[in-house]
Amino acid sequence: MPSILLKSAKILDTESSYHLKTKDILIENGVISQIEDSINAGDKIIAHENLHVSNGFFDSSVSFGEPGYEERETLANGVTTARRSGFTGFLLNPNLNPVTDSYSAVKFLQQQIDTQLIQIKPIGALTRSFDGKNLAELYDMQMAGAIGFYDFKTSVKDANLFKIALQYVKGFDGLIFSYPQDQSIAGKAQVNEDKFTTYIGLKGIPSLAEELQIARDLYILEYTGGKLHIPNVSTKASIQLIKEAKVKGLQATSSVALPHLFFSSNQLEAFDSKYKILPPLRTEEDCIALKQAVLDGTIDMVTCDHEPMDEEHKELEFENASYGSIGLESAFSVLNNLFGVEKASELLSKTKLCFGLETSQIEVNQRADLSLFEPNLEYKFQKKHIFSKSKNSIFLGENLKGKVLGSIYNNSFYEN
């Protein structure tokens, strides 16, 4: 690979001695070889006004469609989308066809992943075909490369099965993901239960459905020990439960999806299906509490919760439309809007630490794992900004701030 020179790049890396300094950065053979005030070298020169650089973005919840749902997204285009959006790695959900629930399924994915210039860690299913009854090949999948086990956006109803799963994976330091929704309480409702959704006539899911599931799971975790990740936390009371678990010293991490930091259920007035996601959009009070929990560290990470859905399943009447929104392309801009560039880059790059994955600093002789962006550009997010095969973004039409310029990883450079 030709050497790359980043000219006058402001460095955002709290672990680096160059944090908040503007420097030239030379990258040779995938490694940072020089960081100086001025460097006159490099086969490819990247020079942008107000260029910023941080550690590579990493996301904890990305769904594609291959194998089985290629009409939604392919692996190759999904990877290109991620890299152009500043991401140098992510966890890949098991909601494929067939479901990623065996050693052979993880191995097949790993073989496809190894040809891509990005760090992808597959998540295996917790139960066979998400049936909620029979544990999948957990140990074998971890040996094949799975980072954890998750029945994507489906909670485990059987408390004893959940207990056994936590006890079993302790033997090989496995990680269980548990989606926070008690389906017996949620029923067939599709939005949050609050004054606004009641006013517009939509049957709601009470926040109790999430909080009861989290309380049960944390109580079992306290009994069994082990490691638990709670994805897509979305209510104020859930935050308090997680805070109490951390005080107890439980090994529990959690994430919040970007739409729940940006929108409330008030967006549903027009019954636009782009706002139909799981968990549902909650109240403004929940939204404010979630942002504070991100800032104080109660919630460990944010996720774009990238979930492509083709038009045939998404562009329908609200009650018939599928759940889900893509989010890779808008992730940096949304967080930049909410928290500013320093916090946005920190949140997007620290996720890999939560999963014990190797990281590098922006220092000489360190591996170049970098995201490049200009934080001040303001624009309206439109379909022309989407690289995904599916276009189902909840952020379409929103005024955002900050543009990703590209990413550098594994001796390769992707540029917008």
pLDDT, tens digit, 9 for 90 and up, residues 212-251: 999 999 999 999 999 999 999 999 999 999 999 999 999 9
CA–CA separation, 261 and 288 (whole Å): 7
DSSP three-state, residue 359: coil
Domain ranges in the chain are 4-52+363-377+401-415, 56-354
CATH topology of domain 4-52+363-377+401-415: Urease, subunit C; domain 1 (2.30.40)
Structure tokens at 366: 């360190």
Whole-number Å distance between alpha carbons of 136 and 26: 46
Percent of the chain with pLDDT over 90: 97
Residue 375 is predicted with a pLDDT of 98
As to burial, measured by CB atoms within 10 angstroms (0-12 exposed, 13-18 middle, 19+ buried), residue 87 is buried
**Which residues is 149 bridged to in the sheet?**
124, 176
Active site residue 305: yes
Angle between helices 331-339 and 284-296 (to 10 degrees): 90
Kindly report the average pLDDT of the chain as a whole number: 97
403 in Cβ contact with 385 (< 8 Å): no
Please pick, among 24, 59, 300, 305, the residue that the annotation labels catalytic. 305
- The C-alpha atoms of residue 251 and residue 245 are separated, in whole angstroms, by 8
Report d(CA 352, CA 46) in Å as an integer. Answer: 26
Note the pLDDT tens digit of each residue in 130-173: 999 999 999 999 999 999 999 999 999 999 999 999 999 999 99
Q: Which residues contact residue 314 at a Cβ distance below 8 angstroms, ignoring those fewer than 6 apart?
A: 273, 274, 321, 322, 324, 390, 392
CATH superfamily membership of 56-354: Metal-dependent hydrolases (3.20.20.140)
Judged by DSSP in three states, 188 sits in coil
- Residue 1 pLDDT > 80: no
pLDDT tens digit string along 19-76?
999 999 999 999 999 999 999 998 999 999 999 999 999 999 999 999 999 999 999 9
Helices (H), 174-301: 183-186, 195-199, 208-224, 236-247, 258-262, 284-296
Residue of 50, 72, 31 whose CA lies nearest to 313? 72
E runs forming strands in 114-186? 119-122, 175-177
